[in-house]
Amino acid sequence: MGTKIKKADFIYDEITKLFPNAKCELNYRKDYELLIAIMLSAQTTDISVNKVTETLFEKYHSVADFANAELKELENDIRRIGLFRNKSKNVKAMAEIIVNDFNLTIPNTQVELEGLPGVGRKTANVFLAEFYRIPRIAVDTHVSRVSKRLRFAKETDTPEKIEEKLKKAFPKYKWISLHHKFIFFGRYFCKAKKPGCLHCPIIKYCKNPII
């Protein structure tokens, strides 16, 4: 077993011990609810999104309801989270396409998802992995930070490059769980500020420990 494989296995196992139940923290019941929740989560917390969608999904009962919503009213419904105007516009436009072109069902291909308004590669990856269980690694700020600190990626690497490197470092069957474990590790342990370096079980692989 190569050194890189040993490192990847060790890191995966140790983070699993810290966060054995790492999973998507967005609340949803249907495919369009998940996609909308992911779209709303950009540059804000899952907790904030869940507070908004708790009432949002009670008000709008189908993707058609979002397509037919008045834009100003939709803006007001999600105004508690950042970038609400742009997100409202994208959610409505996305819903209109799903109604008109996809028979009310969110597509399950990367190309079709990324063709929707407000849906980039990260959002598409999260949706495919969570709803359809298609192996993907979505790179958000937490995954990016952890990957760079643990030397899986360089500081200058783009999210796409980080995704590519992680896919090479870990077997495909671990991709979905790795995404959640890295998010939890970055969100609750290896934080941007005041990371838990003193108690980190994988500190030997960190490029810049704060001790």
pLDDT by residue for the chain (211 residues), tens digit each?
567 789 999 999 999 999 999 999 999 999 999 999 999 999 899 999 999 999 999 999 999 999 999 999 999 999 999 899 999 999 999 999 999 999 999 999 999 999 999 999 999 999 999 999 999 999 999 999 999 999 999 999 999 999 999 999 999 999 999 999 999 999 999 999 999 999 999 999 999 887 6
To the query of whether residue 157 is one of the catalytic residues in this protein, the response is: no
The domain boundary residue, chosen from 131, 157, 185: 131
d(CA 207, CA 109): 36
The beta-carbon contacts of 102-105 under 8 Å, at least 24 apart in sequence, are 104/62, 104/63, 104/64, 105/31
**141 falls within a domain:** yes
The domain boundary residue, chosen from 105, 131, 157: 131
Q: What is the pLDDT of residues 187-197, one digit of tens each?
A: 999 999 999 99
Going by C-beta distance under 8 Å and a sequence separation of 6 or more, which residues neighbour residue 99?
63, 64, 67
CA distances (Å), origin 119, targets 51, 111, 123, 128 = 21, 10, 6, 12
- Are 57 and 121 part of one and the same domain? yes
Residue 179, domain extent: 3-19+137-205
- Are 37 and 114 part of one and the same domain? yes
Q: What is the CATH number of the domain that holds 75?
A: 1.10.340.30
* Number of domains into which the chain is organized: 2
The domain boundary residue, chosen from 111, 131, 151: 131
**25 falls within a domain:** no
Q: Which is catalytic among the residues 122, 174, 191, 204? A: 122
To the query of whether residue 122 is one of the catalytic residues in this protein, the response is: yes
Q: Which is catalytic among the residues 87, 92, 140, 181? A: 140
Both tokens assigned to 111? 């190309």
